[in-house]
Structure 1
Amino acid sequence: MLPPPLFEFQGPSPEPLASRENNLPAQEIRDADTPATMEDFERYAGTIRILFGRGSAELTPIARAVLDRQAAWLRAHPDIRASLQGHADELAPREQQFALGEKRAAAMKFYLTARGVAPQRLFVTSFGRERPVATGSDEASQCQNRRGETVLLGLPGLSRP
């Protein structure tokens, strides 16, 4: 059985990756006349994907920086919900990988909630190793599959689940 994820928040959060969007004041994140889009979210946050270590649900400093930017965008768009999707590599039994995917998504939810995103807007889903982004069995491919993804729900034009 895998140990529970570590949620250590001691010390300051890492600085976000440098980009023009990351330095925008909160009022510039949201334009009331323009509907929110996945492209807008990705541009502001830098990515929808964070990576984890092998067998781990611990958030790295880089993952925290990405989640900080995602939290800022989600706070500015309170009508948007998100599916937090945990994924795993193929290096353990299927059941363990689903459990690890769930822990990764839960770690993301915990962090985003701690950053001010309402928990009822965040839905945890595990795909285990069922949806790889890289199909090779080498370490570089498997590293890409140890991930968490934030997928927006409730965007204009999309049906609500």
Structure 2
Amino acid sequence: MSCQRLAQPLQPPPQFAMQAPQPAPLSVQQDVAQNRAMRDPDTPATVEDFERYARTTRILFARGSAELSDAARATLDRQAEWLKRHSDVRAVLAGHADLLGPREHQFALGERRAAAMKFYFTVHGISGERLIVTSFGKERPVNASSDEVSQSQNRRGETILIGLPGAPRP
């Protein structure tokens, strides 16, 4: 009699439903055009300039979702515009999740969120080679309180510039 184990079928790979990015509302497109006109193209790239131009480095997601909201797309539009002007700058796209689920699930959700950001940027003309996707899952919360408002702050994606003065090293 043999001591072999019965083969167990492998789980199928996860399926991610990613939709093509929707255009930003007209008011955001006008805002991007106005910011473009105000910026001096000869000014060297800085983290502060990026934050001022994009207004924020963070976008928020709905619970259990990696779908980009209109507000998230508007922020990513401003970030993409800045990144287009500074083609030598690279960025880490960090996906985060709330504290309300198993570690592995939240890590995978953070990965999908960062991947959605990368997809949006690449569709808008940013080279994927300049973008590094990473997930922190629920390991780096911005708010550890257990109420819904606090946890909604943890469901985020962050664009972190690297290779600039004042930026963290990869």
- Please, what TM-score do these two structures have when normalized by structure 1? 0.87
Note the C-alpha offset of 1:107: 0.1
2:69 pairs with 42, 60, 63, which one? 60
The amino acid that maps onto 1:42 is E
Please identify runs of 4+ aligned residues in structure 1 that moved more than 6 A.
18-21
Distance 1:30 1:77, change over 3 A: farther
Give the corresponding residue for 1:143. Answer: 152
Partner of 1:63, secondary structure, is helix
The gaps in structure 1 that reach 5 residues or longer are: none
Note the C-alpha offset of 1:14: 2.1
Note the C-alpha offset of 1:19: 9.3
Note the C-alpha offset of 1:3: 5.6
The amino acid that maps onto 2:133 is V
Question: What pairs up with 1:1-161 in 2 under 5 angstroms?
Answer: 4-10=16-22, 12-15=23-26, 17=28, 23-25=34-36, 28-32=38-42, 34-156=43-165, 161=170
Number of aligned residues: 158
* Largest Rg, 1 or 2: 2
Does the 8 Å contact 2:60/2:72 carry over to 1?
yes
Note the C-alpha offset of 1:108: 0.1
Does the 8 Å contact 2:47/2:166 carry over to 1?
no
Same amino acid, percent of matched pairs: 60
Partner of 1:100, secondary structure, is helix
CA RMSD of aligned residues (A): 2.4
Does the 8 Å contact 1:22/1:44 carry over to 2?
no
Distance 1:105 1:36, change over 3 A: same
The amino acid that maps onto 1:13 is A
The amino acid that maps onto 2:19 is F
Does the 8 Å contact 2:161/2:168 carry over to 1?
no
C-alpha distance after superposition, 1:86-140 (max 9, x if no partner): 0000111000000000000000000011011111000001000000011100000
Note the C-alpha offset of 1:73: 0.0
The gaps in structure 2 that reach 5 residues or longer are: 1-12
